[in-house]
């Protein structure tokens, strides 16, 4: 349930209610909006409602959250969320964030070359996998910590933020040491222990939608992270499995308005994994921005033919530069910047 405080509620009255919630054995989540302050009380249904808090001074109303997800819901927080990265980049603001880079970190030289190019074109994040979730155990699995080091060094040199995947609870500490943002991959969207661990880490997190997950399941996964106190979460639509075989996945652009109405969290779209083909990436990136996405992720490689992974969907740096110029126009047309 959420406890809505009156506009005139004093800090003492707020503290009084917060204390009462704690006394009942629940963790209060305070959300201070421009208009009102609300306290989210999450716990076992029924148990929380025993005590009526409506009579407390300063309380305007106590309303149950009907949605299965609570902290991520618009009911809990009406205003759209944004958060600040280490370099001041705002995720979820007017400016759309662009994450670009290779699928896998293959070596330092290629990473540096690509990073310089994507930075020049206006990207704010360098993406690249050091721990790779591959369908086959015989495919390239990533450089591990060596890859993380390259990401950090190159991003610092060029002036980008690092977003990279963490696949396992045992890797959270090491990935968090090098990265600015943790990526939870599609295959791990329902790895609940990993979600909890990333929640505890409080690191900005990009939560990709599972290959065959509904929006509801995806938002419940985000709820795991928020429930551990980490509100710095961005959702990523990266395509889902359908009967269609013409493309690698079906990019579900419906998810943008659905997510926007259901939750306050920002959403990014990844047309690279969403389509699986470099020549389809541009049209879908433009559509994503026009549809209200807060960010896009695009795979860029200097030599896609020889890429260790996902070459077919990777843009050459010069193609990425051309696309960014077009995306600037689209962003402007819908009141955003890039």
Binding site for ligand PEP (CB under 6 A): 103, 129, 133, 185-187, 208, 238, 273
The listed partner (Mn ion, ligand PEP, none) that binds 186, CB under 5 to 8 Å by sort, is: ligand PEP
- Beginning with the edge strand found earlier in the chain, give each strand of the sheet holding 2-5 in spatial order: 27-32, 37-42, 2-5, 59-63
Shortest distance (Å) from residue 76 CB to ligand PEP: 27
Q: Which is nearer to ligand PEP, 83 or 125 (CB)?
A: 125
Q: Alpha-carbon distance 334 to 287, whole Å?
A: 11
> What backbone phi and psi angles, to 5 degrees, belong to 45?
-55, 145
Distances (CA, A) of 114 to 78, 150, 283: 39, 12, 22
Q: Which is nearer to ligand PEP, 105 or 226 (CB)?
A: 105
Beta bridge partners of 250: 240
Q: Which is nearer to ligand PEP, 37 or 314 (CB)?
A: 314
Shortest distance (Å) from residue 191 CB to ligand PEP: 12
Cα dihedral 210, 233, 332, 102, rounded to 10, equals -60
**Residues 307/107, Cβ–Cβ less than 8 Å:** no
- The two beta strands, 233-237 and 267-269, are parallel
Shortest distance (Å) from residue 108 CB to ligand PEP: 19
Q: Six-digit token pair at 153?
A: 């060094």
Q: Alpha-carbon distance 269 to 41, whole Å?
A: 31
Q: Alpha-carbon distance 301 to 312, whole Å?
A: 10
What sign does the dihedral 157-159-165-166 (CA atoms) show?
Answer: positive
> Site mask, Mn ion, residues 99-138, x = CB under 5 A?
----x-----------------------------------
Q: Which is nearer to Mn ion, 172 or 300 (CB)?
A: 300
Residue nearest to ligand PEP (CB): 185
Shortest distance (Å) from residue 145 CB to ligand PEP: 18
Q: Which is nearer to Mn ion, 81 or 141 (CB)?
A: 141
> What backbone phi and psi angles, to 5 degrees, belong to 316?
-70, 150
Q: Which is nearer to Mn ion, 117 or 310 (CB)?
A: 310
Q: Alpha-carbon distance 190 to 296, whole Å?
A: 22
337 three-class SS:
strand
**Using rule CB under 5 A, residue 155 touches Mn ion:** no
**Using rule CB under 5 A, residue 154 touches Mn ion:** no
Shortest distance (Å) from residue 33 CB to ligand PEP: 32
Q: Alpha-carbon distance 275 to 208, whole Å?
A: 15
Q: Which is nearer to Mn ion, 24 or 316 (CB)?
A: 316
Shortest distance (Å) from residue 181 CB to ligand PEP: 12
The listed partner (Mn ion, ligand PEP, none) that binds 133, CB under 5 to 8 Å by sort, is: ligand PEP
**Using rule CB under 5 A, residue 166 touches Mn ion:** no
Shortest distance (Å) from residue 322 CB to Mn ion: 21
Question: Judged by CB under 5 A, which of 310, 320, 323, 336 binds Mn ion?
Answer: 310
**Residues 150/108, Cβ–Cβ less than 8 Å:** yes
Q: Which is nearer to ligand PEP, 184 or 327 (CB)?
A: 184
**Using rule CB under 5 A, residue 236 touches Mn ion:** no
**Using rule CB under 5 A, residue 307 touches Mn ion:** no
The listed partner (Mn ion, ligand PEP, none) that binds 238, CB under 5 to 8 Å by sort, is: ligand PEP
What sign does the dihedral 207-161-104-270 (CA atoms) show?
Answer: positive
Total of residues contacting Mn ion (CB under 5 A):
2
Binding site for Mn ion (CB under 5 A): 103, 310
């Amino acid at each position: 349930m959420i406890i809505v405080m009156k506009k005139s509620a004093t800090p003492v009255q707020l503290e009084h209610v917060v204390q009462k919630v704690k006394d009942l054995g629940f963790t209060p989540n305070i959300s201070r909006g421009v208009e009102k302050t609300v306290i989210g009380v999450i716990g076992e249904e029924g148990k929380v409602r025993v005590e009526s808090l409506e009579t407390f001074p300063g309380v305007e109303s106590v309303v149950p959250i009907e949605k299965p997800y609570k902290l991520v819901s618009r009911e809990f927080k009406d205003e759209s969320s944004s958060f600040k990265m280490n370099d001041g980049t705002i995720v979820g603001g007017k400016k759309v964030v662009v994450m670009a880079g290779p699928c896998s970190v293959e070596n330092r030289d290629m990473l540096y070359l690509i990073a310089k190019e994507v930075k020049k074109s206006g990207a704010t994040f360098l993406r690249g996998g050091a721990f790779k979730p591959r369908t086959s155990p015989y495919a390239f699995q990533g450089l591990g910590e060596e890859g993380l080091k390259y990401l950090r060094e190159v991003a610092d040199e060029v002036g980008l933020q690092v977003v990279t995947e963490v696949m396992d609870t045992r890797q959270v500490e090491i990935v968090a040491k090098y990265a600015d943002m943790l990526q939870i991959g599609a295959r791990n969207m329902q790895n609940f222990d990993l979600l909890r661990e990333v929640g505890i880490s409080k690191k900005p997190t990009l939560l990709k939608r599972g290959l065959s997950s509904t929006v509801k399941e995806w938002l419940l996964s985000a709820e795991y992270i928020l429930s551990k106190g980490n509100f710095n979460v961005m959702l990523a639509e990266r395509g889902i499995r359908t009967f269609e075989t013409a493309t690698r996945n079906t990019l579900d652009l419906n998810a943008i308005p659905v997510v926007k109405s259901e939750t306050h969290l920002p959403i990014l779209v990844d047309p690279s994994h969403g389509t699986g083909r470099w020549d389809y990436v541009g049209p879908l990136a433009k559509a994503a921005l026009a549809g209200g996405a807060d960010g896009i992720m695009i795979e860029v490689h200097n030599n896609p033919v020889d890429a260790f992974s996902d070459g077919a969907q990777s843009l050459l740096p010069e193609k990425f530069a051309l696309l960014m110029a077009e995306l600037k126009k689209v962003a402007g047309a819908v009141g955003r910047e890039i």
